[in-house]
Amino acid sequence: MVKKKINVIDLDQTLIPYDSYSEYLNRLLLHPRYFISGIVLILLRKLRIISLSTQKKYSVIFNQRIVSYQKYVKNYAEKLFNHVNNNVMKMVNNNSDRNTIKILCTASPEDYASLLASKLGWECVASHFSENGQFIHVHGKNKIKLINKLYPKNKYDYNFAISDSTSDLDLLLSFKKHQLL
């Protein structure tokens, strides 16, 4: 049996040259109803009272409550698509054939990351709420855990991975070829 190759690509500071989550979080500050909530989330995180995972969880909950959320994430994914790093795309394409599965793997919220991945014709593994309502923060060791679960090594060839973060080092090292930016 020939295994399908997979390539895993990080989003923030890799596929795009900035942190997409920061702008997403700041959206709360532009809405009168969630301004205070946004400020509280930012302050609690800066003071290290809450984890980044908790901040992301509540920023998604609050953002989803704002009217026209679906339109916002669709437009936001389009903006991200327009900022894709061409050099990273070349690396990904140079390490792919027409059957390679490309996976956007990010700690950013699935709400917009999955839309960007879809625009690229890729699959997506991103921070999300599980079926039982638990928030899954796809960061560090959770990235490799989810990739291994969704794309087991006995069925997939771990071909190429790229990221800017040393927190992804275990993930990168599990691939034949990898690039740490």
Per-residue pLDDT of the chain (181 residues), as tens digits, is 789 999 999 999 999 999 999 999 999 999 999 999 999 999 999 999 999 999 999 999 999 999 999 999 999 999 999 999 999 999 999 999 999 999 999 999 999 999 999 999 999 999 999 999 999 999 999 999 999 999 999 999 999 999 999 999 999 999 999 999 9
- Verify that 127 and 61 share a domain, yes or no: no
Mean pLDDT across the chain:
97
Find residue 158's DSSP bridge partners.
Answer: 6
Q: Which long-range contacts (CB under 8 A, 24 or more apart) does 82-89 make?
A: 83/16, 83/17, 83/18, 84/15, 84/16, 84/120, 85/14, 85/15, 85/16, 85/17, 88/9, 88/14, 88/15, 88/162, 88/181, 89/15
- Verify that 158 and 108 share a domain, yes or no: yes
Number of domains in the chain: 2
Q: How far is CA 81 from the centre of its chain?
A: 13
What CATH number did the domain enclosing 151 receive?
A: 3.40.50.1000
- Verify that 68 and 151 share a domain, yes or no: no
Three-class SS state of 162 = strand
- Verify that 110 and 171 share a domain, yes or no: yes
- Verify that 147 and 68 share a domain, yes or no: no
Whole-model pTM?
Answer: 0.96
Print the domain residue range for 125: 4-17+84-180
Helix (H) or strand (E) holding 158: strand 156-163
Residue after which a domain boundary falls, among 62, 78, 94: 78
Whole-number percent of the chain with pLDDT over 90: 99
Residue after which a domain boundary falls, among 37, 60, 78: 78
Q: pLDDT of 59-94, one tens digit each?
A: 999 999 999 999 999 999 999 999 999 999 999 999
Tell me what pLDDT residue 2 has: 84
